[in-house]
Chain A
Amino acid sequence: DAKTTQPTSMDCAEGRAANLPCNHSTISGNEYVYWYRQIHSQGPQYIIHGLKNNETNEMASLIITEDRKSSTLILPHATLRDTAVYYCIVSGETSGSRLTFGEGTQLTVNP
């Protein structure tokens, strides 16, 4: 699986958009970008995934650059409950669907 690079930590004001970047410059053509988050003392939770088009669901939006070497997860109106570690993961069928979690970004939403 391609390696991902994320900032260690980020802060965001409650009610503002949180933009979490991820670099995955070695991503291959058949690999997808997945985002999960882990709230303290809980198991990880799926957020969203994409291949090359931008995606949006009820939780977040995912913006993938045209060259697919980086992406940004956007939480449009962050709340205190969005404070968590956010993991950007690149995965394809060759990995057997296992998820390789890196260190992630600790997002802290401040009141």
Chain B
Amino acid sequence: GAGVSQSPSNKVTEKGKDVELRCDPISGHTALYWYRQSLGQGLEFLIYFQGNSAPDKSGLPSDRFSAERTGGSVSTLTIQRTQQEDSAVYLCASRVRGTEPYNEQFFGPGTRLTVL
């Protein structure tokens, strides 16, 4: 079956522009996560969606970052007024809720964002 997909795979933008990154989770997965990985760094949690509950936004680094999940499926991460320090690989993961503590998150291939 299809895994987690993300688009675009690569995005180059100019400083100050807005960007949208898309994530299509595995069908039936109710939990969705966004992480980012800067060059040579570990993964950093950004935001977590679970069903109709309010998302956990505690990892978003600034108010320029926002995310939404429509219809409990596709999610979009938006970065406004991009800065060079936003350059990173943005990873999306999904998971079947209700199987705690089996926390197997399925990751997509990521979107590599480069801010010039």
Contact = CB atoms under 8 A, between A and B. Distances in A.
A42 B101 contact: no
Interface size class of B (residues with CB under 8 A): 20 to 34
Interface residues of A, number: 22
Interface string A63-105: 0000000000000000000000001000111001111111110
Contact of B43 (A91, A97, A99): A99
B108 A98 contact: no
Which DSSP category, helix, strand, loop or mixed, fits chain A's interface?
Answer: loop
A53 interface: no
B105 interface: yes
A34 B103 contact: yes
Interface of B: 4, 31, 33, 35, 42-45, 48, 56, 59, 91, 93, 95, 100-110
Interface of A: 32, 34, 42-46, 49, 51, 87, 91-93, 96-104
